[in-house]
Amino acid sequence: MSYEIYYKRAYIKVGNKFMPMIQHGSNNCWECSFKGRDIPEKNWTCLNYPTHQFLFTKQEIIELAKKNSKFETFKSRHTPFADGEFEKWIINGMKSARTVEEYTEYNNRLYLIDYTNYEYGKKSAERVYVDSTDRLLKLLAERGEMRIDFSFWERNLRLPKKQKKIREKTRKDHYFALKNGSRFLYKLRKNGYSYITYSGGEKKFETEKQALKYLTTYKQRLKDFEVVLVEKGCWI
């Protein structure tokens, strides 16, 4: 059975509108890599069925998602999207949208493809490089929307890596810990727990509520422990 696989999203932000660019390919179509290996077909196009427009407001993207979610779609080979998942996948693409300038800053190339004079086996479709938002808007105004599409030249886009937010530690004059006699809980293990007999290196909790919740969650394994206040400066 032939079906379409939807791999990635790379939405383009144009003012308060979006161009929903998606990477997709048929499950039974393959391409030849530079090394001569057969690899799955993957193409970048604008997801705009059943319209012919390319720029959508947020509400129009939501409506577009509802219409396209009626079809059976796959997120990988042999794995279809679950009910409602493809609709959310389309809508959430707006969260990571970038401008044309942001894509080209990392050497990704966006093209307008014009099929107006295309003839199979005789004349190729015209490709026009798009390097800015103004250029994109100008081309849309000049070319219309009936026989054109957009595509990235790259199979795999080059994008900046997400930076993890580092939580700043603050110094507290006290904290809470779990204690059993002279033993402080250090860490839960698969078959028990480890402990230390001095304060400072034990498992710390910022609030008594957090410590009590932890103790309740693992009450069977920590039944002899209790929450204690440790009045000592530390970093949490």
Residue partners of 69: CB distance under 8 A and separation at least 6: 84, 86, 87, 90
What is the full per-residue pLDDT of the chain (236 aa) written as tens digits? 789 999 999 999 999 999 999 999 999 999 988 888 999 999 999 999 999 899 999 999 999 999 999 988 999 998 999 999 999 999 999 999 999 999 999 999 999 999 999 888 889 999 999 999 999 999 999 998 889 999 999 999 999 887 677 767 677 788 999 999 999 999 998 888 999 988 888 999 999 999 999 999 998 889 899 999 998 755 54
Residues 6+ apart with CB under 8 A from 55: 14, 17, 18, 19, 140
Q: Which of 196, 193, 192 is nearest to 184 (CA)?
A: 196
Tell me the CA distances in angstroms from 86 to 93, 134, 136, one per residue in order: 11, 31, 28
